[in-house]
Chain A
Amino acid sequence: MNVVRLVKKAKRGSKDALMELIMAEKDAMYRLAFTYMGNEHDAMDVLEEMIVRLYENIGQLKKEEAFYSWSKTILVNLCKTTLRKQKKVVLIDNWQSSKEEEQMPSTDSNVQQLEISEMLSILNEHQKEAIQMKYFLDMDYQTIAELTNVPLGTVKSRIFQGLRKMKDYDGGECDERDRRTIE
Chain B
Amino acid sequence: MKEIEERLNEEKQRMASMTAPADFKNRLRSALDATPARKHKRRKPYVLMAAVSVLCFMLVSYNYNAVAFYGKKIFGFEEIMTGTMKDLNDKGMGQIIDKKTTLSDGTELTIDGIMTDANQLVMYYTLSNPQGVGDLWGDVFNPDKITGFFTNARAGGGMAKVNDSGTEIKGTTYFDPVSPFSKKLTLHFWQGVKNVERSITFPYDPNKAMQTQIKQSINEAVKVDQGKVTFKTITATPTSTVIEGKMNVDNFDRIHFGFEGVKLIANGNSVDNLGSGVSGSKFDLRFDGLPQELYSLELAFSEFVGYQKLAELIPLSDDTHHDLEGKDLWIKRVVTTERGVEITIETDDNLLLDDVSIQNGDKVTPLKTTINQRLEKKVDRFTSERTMVFDTNSMPDNLLIEGIHYVKKYNQKIEIPVE
Contacts and interface: CB of A to CB of B under 8 A. Distances in A.
Interface of A: 13, 15, 18-19, 22-23, 26-27, 29-31, 34-35, 39-41, 44, 47-49, 51-52, 55-56, 59, 77, 80-82, 84-90, 92-93, 96-97, 99-107, 109, 112-113, 115-116, 119, 131, 135-138, 163, 166-167, 170, 175-180
B4 A103 contact: no
Secondary structure at chain B's binding surface: helix, strand, loop or mixed?
A: mixed
Secondary structure at chain A's binding surface: helix, strand, loop or mixed?
A: helix
Given A13-B37, A178-B280, A180-B154, 17 more contacts: A18-B32, A26-B24, A27-B18, A30-B20, A34-B18, A35-B15, A52-B31, A84-B190, A87-B62, A89-B63, A89-B278, A103-B352, A103-B353, A105-B355, A105-B402, A135-B11, A137-B12
Contact of A15 (B1, B33, B357): B33
B337 interface: no
Contact of A85 (B58, B281, B355, B402): B58
Contacts of A40: 21, 372-374
Interface residues of B, number: 76
Interface of B: 1-2, 4, 7-12, 14-16, 18-21, 23-25, 27-35, 37-38, 41, 55, 58-59, 62-63, 138-139, 142, 144, 154-157, 190, 193-195, 253-256, 277-282, 352-357, 366-375, 386, 402
Nearest to B368: A104
A19 B18 contact: no
B24 A44 contact: yes
Given A40-B373, A55-B35, A87-B156, A135 B254 contact: no
Contact of A81 (B1, B10, B33, B138): B138
B62 A48 contact: no
Given A90-B62, A99-B253, A179-B280, A81 B139 contact: yes
Contacts of B28: 19, 22, 47-48, 51
Contacts of A107: 366
Given A19-B29, A30-B21, A103-B354, A56 B41 contact: yes
B15 A137 contact: yes
A176 B55 CA distance: 32
Contact of B366 (A81, A88, A105, A175): A105
B366 A92 contact: no
Contacts of B142: 81, 84-85
